[in-house]
Amino acid sequence: MPSDNERNNRRNRGGDSAQRSDASVRAIKVLDEILESTDPLDANYQYLLLLRHQLEIDEQQLAEAQEMIQKYDEAYTKLTQPANRIAVFLSGNEDGTANIALGDNEFYTNIDPNVDAAELKTGTRVKVNDAYAIVGDLGPAQNGQIVKVNEALEDGRLRIGGDQQGQNSRVVLRGEGLKEAKIKTGTEVRMEPNGRVALEAFAGKENQDYFLDQVTEIPWDKIGGQQEAISVIKDAIELPLLYPELYERFGKRPLKGILLYGPPGCGKTLIGKATAYNITQEYKERTKRDVKEYFMYINGPKILNMWLGESERQVREIFSTAREKAKEGYLVFIFIDEAESILRTRSSGRFTNISNTVVPQFCAEMDGLVSLENVVVMLTSNRPDYIDPAVLRPERIDRKVKVVRPDRQSTSDILGIYLHKDLPLDWRLVDEKGGVDQAREYLVAQTTELIWSKTHETEFLEAYLRNGSVDTLYWKDLVSGALLTSIVERAKDYAIKRSIEVKSTKEGVSWEDMERAVRTEYKENEIFPKTDNLEDWLKLVDYEPDNVVRLNPIKAKKGSQVTRRNVI
């Protein structure tokens, strides 16, 4: 870089040339005077003319050189000026000053009158000089870190960042472009480089992975049996939603949540969805408003891995989405399937580190749910004993509803639902029984009879109990709605295949199809564990797990030979 001396010298050189230019102009003038007084025929006259011409050329070259030097000087001055800092504009003050931030520091600063203060918006980048006065408006930044919003505060500010314990989280402002934007927990926002203002929002994608916002039509009569569970649900959830004024008058707090528990495949999820559907229908009817249900299905084990390390945020996100949807006028159902996987008691060993953060957060969110907020929480579990008791305390999930295994009557009811009147039945059977309804009744009764029979063939499990007794469990003891659905579906497959084979459009489900389907289901259904793991089998039976020492699946082989395996 040139020293000050050099710079001065150059300036002086510039000065010299100016003086020289003046001198040459004067010299030309003197020459002109001499030329005027000289006779053009004089021998020296031509020399004088030449001299003048030369002087003019010199003069012109000098002017060009001067111009170049001046340009160079200007460029040099520009390049060597100190750089301006770039800060972010936070807000303007009444006295015409502004609040800006630069890194961790904030400044209360002046605005150069050449800058249009009205154009400065929260989040705009501003050029500041050595005195930190705003001397230029650079518009909003185009780059910056993307972070997830933990909470959109009532006043518009956003809480972002933070680890599992909520440390290092901070509150930031919304930039001009986000003032009216819909931002909720989990929305991704782009921060300006100083990290003070969120400038741009991207809707979170992951929500859709486990939230389902529409429920198919499931009227109560599409559920076989379960009258007791349904009536508890109606009393506990439907009544307070339909008659809030009555509950208020009697000073009764409506229920916030229920736990549906019982063996797998017996209709917990089905009842959950039916609850959402039917209650919404009733609500619509009563309020005469076009209310829709918003059913948030959360599969415990599936999202357990997704939640690793960010469980607290996820729980908050679920509840905040629920509240938002409720505000938009939906009836919201948060349905957590196999809840014991994420809301485990802290002493139950597996997944302890996860429950440690999920359980308290879940409880806090439940406590924060204001009554009558139109948000209902439903949990399901086939191991309710694994759920942290804190979750099941009064005012949280304080109603437990047992979803029972179908009894004989419910078995018939469920089969009746799936062997419905529009299902093509075997025409021979219809002829024989004297009508479609009679044929259906026959199929339902026969199938129920087969499943409920206590024969050598239907022996399924031996249970060695802690009190020393040994129970034999039959097909009926492991029957479930899911299994019955599967049986009918399998029988339909057989009828379809037969239709193809005999090239007939008249084939329908026959008793042979049903019989074969029942036998195959008990041998092959996915519900039954392929391993000998006692825990897996315990989920299927109705014993208190602590009372069981051993379970022996009895596998029927070809013919009626029976083999026994030990499950310990």
The residues binding ligand ADP (CB under 6 A) are 223-226, 264-270, 380, 403, 414, 417, 481-482, 485
| Residue 269 or 552 having the CB closest to ligand ADP | 269
Structure tokens at 435: 């009508």
Long-range contacts of 504-509 (CB under 8 A, 24+ apart): 506/427, 507/424, 507/426, 507/427, 508/423, 508/424, 508/425, 508/426, 508/427, 508/429, 508/430, 509/419, 509/423, 509/424, 509/425, 509/426, 509/443
Q: Which is nearer to ligand ADP, 62 or 417 (CB)?
A: 417
How many C-beta atoms surround the C-beta of residue 42 within 10 A?
A: 11
* Nearest distance from C-beta of residue 444 to ligand ADP, angstroms: 13
Nearest distance in Å: CB 416, ligand ADP: 10
Smallest gap from Cβ 232 to ligand ADP, in A, equals 15
Decide whether 92 or 264 has the Cβ nearer to ligand ADP: 264
With CB atoms as reference, the residue minimizing the distance to ligand ADP is 481
CB nearer to ligand ADP: pick between 354 and 488: 488
- From the list 86, 88, 85, the residue with the least C-alpha distance to 195 is 88
Residue type, 513: D
- Closest approach of ligand ADP to the CB of residue 487, in Å: 11
254 versus 264: smaller Cβ distance to ligand ADP: 264
Tokens of 508: 């329908």
CA-nearest of 204, 205, 156 to 181 is: 156
Q: Please tell me the distance from the alpha carbon of residue 335 to that of residue 540, in angstroms, as a whole number.
A: 22
C-beta separation of 61 from 106 below 8 A: no
- Going through 276-371 in order, the beta strands assigned E by DSSP cover 293-299, 331-337
What are the Cα distances from residue 432, in Å, to 40, 110, 441? 146, 98, 13
Q: Which is nearer to ligand ADP, 125 or 268 (CB)?
A: 268
Q: Shortest Cβ distance from residue 446 to ligand ADP (Å)?
A: 19
Identify which of residues 268 and 313 has a Cβ nearer to ligand ADP in the complex: 268
When the beta carbons of 268 and 292 are compared against ligand ADP, the nearer one is 268
| Smallest distance, ligand ADP to C-beta of residue 215, A | 12
> What DSSP line would sit under 458-505, residue for residue?
TEEEEEEETTS-EEEEEGGGG--HHHHHHHHHHHHHHHHHHHHHTT-S
Distance between CA atoms of residues 12 and 154, nearest Å: 67
Residue 87 bridge partners (DSSP): 126
Give the rounded distance of the alpha carbon of 419 from its chain centre. Answer: 39
- Least distance CB 351 / ligand ADP (angstroms): 20
Q: How far apart are CA 300 and CA 334, in angstroms?
A: 12
Q: How far is the CB of 566 from ligand ADP (least distance, A)?
A: 27
Minimum distance from residue 291 beta carbon to ligand ADP (Å): 24
Q: Which is nearer to ligand ADP, 399 or 498 (CB)?
A: 399
Between CA 93 and CA 99 the distance in angstroms is 7
Please report how close the Cβ of residue 266 comes to ligand ADP at its closest, in angstroms. Answer: 5
Q: What's the CA gap between 107 and 85, in Å, rounded?
A: 13
Distance in Å, CB of 488 to ligand ADP, minimum: 10
Of 123 and 224, nearer to ligand ADP (C-beta) is 224
Strands 85-92 and 375-381 turn out to be: unpaired
Residue closest to 518 by CA, chosen among 458, 559, 568: 458
Task: Round to whole Å and give the CA distance between 515 and 449.
Answer: 11
Q: Choose between 141 and 237: whose C-beta lies nearer to ligand ADP.
A: 237
